[in-house]
């Protein structure tokens, strides 16, 4: 299989999977098998591209011209390669997990769910491999639209409202700001191709550059910079596999990935640091990191806490782009992978707890760790990785980001990173700690609806009734937890692989 063919397979694999899923809609086992097969094929195809990119190649797939001189083009470079690998690998894991979760939860409309899921993955890979800004924009929009039915999956008034927030923010920012930025860029430079060193140098200057950067950064709503982060907590009404893969990995990472792409290949890291156009962005990202962490502290709902944690962590990547040094850019890119593994583990655990114990609030989870040791052990690992402690993957990306901040002589952001780590500890570690340490005391007043006698009866033997979630749920979350560990040792290779994007 040639590299170009592998790219095509990677892009079309999920779509073919979606078609098969639709075809086998009435036979759940066959349908789920088709999904897993598609995910494996997609990953293998993405993996096939890796050696070529590692060797310095930039495989290209050209479809057609759209507006003269501007077409649908896919080019794989290291940054996109990394994102594509992460997304396609985690899709396999999530597929297993989703099967366990959706069946364990007896969700309706599973076929529609899996179809949209597969389309979203295809779009995420499209974002990863896009060769110019327009292709990226199209894939980005497909990603938004295909995830909307996933957010509103339950079709309840609450999820409809959340869906409107989701779509409203993501579409209005992308069409309202990003598209204007793109057309402006095209008007100013006559190209939208991702070019090492950027295309804007000397074409757009002064205030215009800052405005353009603003259009891009706030146009990429998926990066969840404050104050346009609202869609991410809203999206948490979706079933947990969606929150896990899409709103911890594919969708949000597509956002920050786009931020990096724009910073590196449209603006150019050097041009950004020379002109200082991104200084404001550093402060916005820094503020988002700290504020979102503080908000996360106040959330008792586990998924909401994780969502705000994601908002905070995403801004690490944006900060990496804004600092515009080679260290920080590599750190930001690496954080995409590191955080993906950490956060997906946490979400998997949240989902497993929901399936096994039907609990969503952190305050109800005391003592659960003894019943579900694997789940909470994985949670602890994920939490430590997100916090950035060695020997877990998250440590390295923060290290590089810190180096970048020092390099850019912005010491205040070294401090921001440290404060944020402390806050991470404060909001994530207690969840695991309480589950293992705190005993459910006898006679503890348990808040529950009056007159719920049946529920009360359930509650009494709850301690004995809760077991680990089904294997389909537990194995994936253990895998990703191990992945966090493995990434710590792979960091050198990843940094070396990413080095070309930071070359001056």
Partner 1 sequence: MIAHLPALQVVIPLLAAPACILVRGRDLAFWLALVTTWAAFLVSCLLLDQVMASGVISYELGGWAAPFGIEYRVDALNAFVLLIVSGIGAVVLPFTPRSLLIEMVGEKAYLFYCAFLLCVTGLLGVAITGDAFNLFVFMEISSLASCILISLGPHRRALTAAFQYLIVGTIGATFIVIGIGLIYGATGTLNMNDIAERLPQTGYNRTVIAAFAFLIVGAAIKLALFPLHFWLPKAYTYAPSTVSAFLAATATKVGVYVLIRFLFTVFGVEFSFEVLPTAFPLMLLAVLAMFVASTIAIFQDSVKRMLAYSSVAQIGYMVLGLSLVTVDGLTASMVHLFNHALMKGALFLAIGCIAYRQASFRIEDFAGMGKRMPWTMAAFTAGGLSLIGIPLTAGFISKWYLILAALAADEPLIAALIVISSLLAVIYVWRVVEAAYFRKPPPDAPAGEAPLSLLIPTWILIALNVYFGIETSLPVGVAEHAARALMGAGP
Binding site for partner 1 (CB under 8 A): 64, 66-68, 134, 137-138, 141, 145, 149, 152, 155, 160, 163-164, 167, 171-172, 175-176, 179-180, 183-184, 186-187
Listed in sequence order, the residues at least 6 apart from 340 whose beta carbon sits closer than 8 Å to its beta carbon are 86, 87, 90, 248, 249, 253
Provide the minimum distance between the beta carbon of 118 and partner 1 in the complex, in angstroms, as a whole number: 18
Provide the minimum distance between the beta carbon of 235 and partner 1 in the complex, in angstroms, as a whole number: 15
Provide the minimum distance between the beta carbon of 475 and partner 1 in the complex, in angstroms, as a whole number: 33
Provide the minimum distance between the beta carbon of 47 and partner 1 in the complex, in angstroms, as a whole number: 28
Provide the minimum distance between the beta carbon of 259 and partner 1 in the complex, in angstroms, as a whole number: 20
Provide the minimum distance between the beta carbon of 369 and partner 1 in the complex, in angstroms, as a whole number: 38
Nearer to partner 1, 137 or 308 (CB): 137
Nearer to partner 1, 186 or 379 (CB): 186
Q: How far apart are CA 500 and CA 328, in angstroms?
A: 14
Specify whether the CB–CB gap between 25 and 118 falls below 8 A: no
Q: How far apart are CA 5 and CA 3, in angstroms?
A: 5
Nearer to partner 1, 134 or 405 (CB): 134
Q: How far is residue 44 from each of residues 49, 89, 137, 502, measured CA to CA in Å?
A: 9, 9, 26, 27
Q: How far apart are CA 214 and CA 231, in angstroms?
A: 19
What SS3 class is residue 153? coil
What SS3 class is residue 152? coil
- End-to-end C-alpha distance for the chain, whole angstroms: 34
Nearer to partner 1, 109 or 301 (CB): 109
Residue 130's closest CA among 121, 120, 140?
140
Q: How far apart are CA 138 and CA 93, in angstroms?
A: 27
Provide the minimum distance between the beta carbon of 120 and partner 1 in the complex, in angstroms, as a whole number: 16
Nearer to partner 1, 184 or 283 (CB): 184
Nearer to partner 1, 163 or 286 (CB): 163
Residue with tokens 């305050």: 363
Nearer to partner 1, 184 or 280 (CB): 184
Which run of H or E residues covers position 72? Answer: strand 70-75
What SS3 class is residue 132? strand
């Amino acid at each position: 299989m040639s590299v170009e063919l592998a790219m095509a397979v990677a892009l079309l694999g999920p779509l073919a999977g979606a078609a098969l899923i639709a075809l086998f809609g009435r036979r759940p086992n066959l349908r789920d098998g088709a999904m897993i097969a598609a995910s494996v094929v997609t990953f293998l195809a993405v993996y096939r591209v890796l050696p070529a990119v590692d060797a310095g190649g930039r495989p290209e797939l050209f479809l057609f011209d759209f507006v003269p001189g501007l077409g649908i083009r896919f080019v794989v470079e290291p940054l996109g390669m990394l994102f594509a690998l992460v997304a396609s690998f985690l899709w396999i894991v999530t597929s297993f997990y989703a099967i366990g979760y959706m069946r364990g939860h007896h969700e309706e409309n599973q076929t529609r769910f899996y179809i949209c899921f597969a389309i979203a993955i295809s779009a995420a890979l499209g974002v990863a491999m896009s060769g110019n800004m327009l292709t990226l924009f199209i894939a980005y929009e497909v990603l938004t639209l295909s995830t909307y039915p996933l957010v509103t999956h339950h079709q309840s008034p609450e999820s409809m409202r959340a869906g409107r927030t989701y779509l409203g923010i993501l579409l209005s920012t992308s069409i309202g700001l990003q598209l204007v930025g793109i057309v402006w860029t095209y008007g100013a430079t006559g190209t939208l191709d991702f070019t090492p060193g950027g295309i804007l140098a000397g074409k757009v200057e002064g205030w215009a550059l800052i405005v353009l950067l603003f259009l891009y950064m706030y146009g990429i709503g998926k990066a969840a910079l404050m104050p346009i982060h609202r869609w991410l907590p809203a999206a948490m009404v979706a079933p947990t596999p969606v929150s896990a893969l899409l709103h911890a990995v594919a969708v949000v990472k597509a956002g920050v990935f786009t931020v990096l792409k724009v910073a590196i290949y449209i603006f150019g890291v050097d041009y950004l640091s020379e002109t200082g156009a991104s200084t404001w962005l550093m402060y916005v990202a820094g503020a988002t990191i700290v504020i979102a962490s503080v908000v996360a502290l106040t959330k008792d709902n586990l998924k909401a806490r994780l969502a705000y944690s994601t908002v905070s962590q995403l801004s690490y990547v944006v900060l990496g782009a804004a600092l515009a040094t080679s260290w920080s850019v590599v750190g930001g890119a690496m954080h995409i992978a590191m955080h993906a593994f950490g956060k997906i583990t946490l979400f998997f655990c949240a989902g497993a707890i929901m399936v096994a114990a039907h609990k969503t609030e952190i305050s109800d989870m005391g003592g659960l760790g003894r019943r579900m040791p694997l789940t909470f052990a994985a949670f602890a690992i994920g939490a430590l990785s997100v916090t950035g402690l060695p020997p877990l993957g998250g440590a390295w990306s923060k290290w590089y980001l810190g180096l970048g901040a020092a390099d850019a002589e912005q010491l205040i952001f070294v401090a921001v990173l440290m404060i944020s780590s402390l806050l991470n500890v404060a909001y994530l570690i207690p969840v695991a700690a309480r589950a293992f340490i705190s005993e459910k005391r006898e006679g503890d007043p348990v808040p529950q609806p009056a007159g719920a006698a049946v529920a009360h009866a359930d509650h009494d033997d709850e301690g004995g009734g809760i077991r680990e979630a089904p294997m389909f749920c537990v194995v994936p979350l253990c895998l990703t937890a191990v992945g966090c560990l493995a990434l710590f040792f792979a960091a050198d290779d990843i940094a070396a692989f990413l080095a070309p994007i930071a070359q001056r």
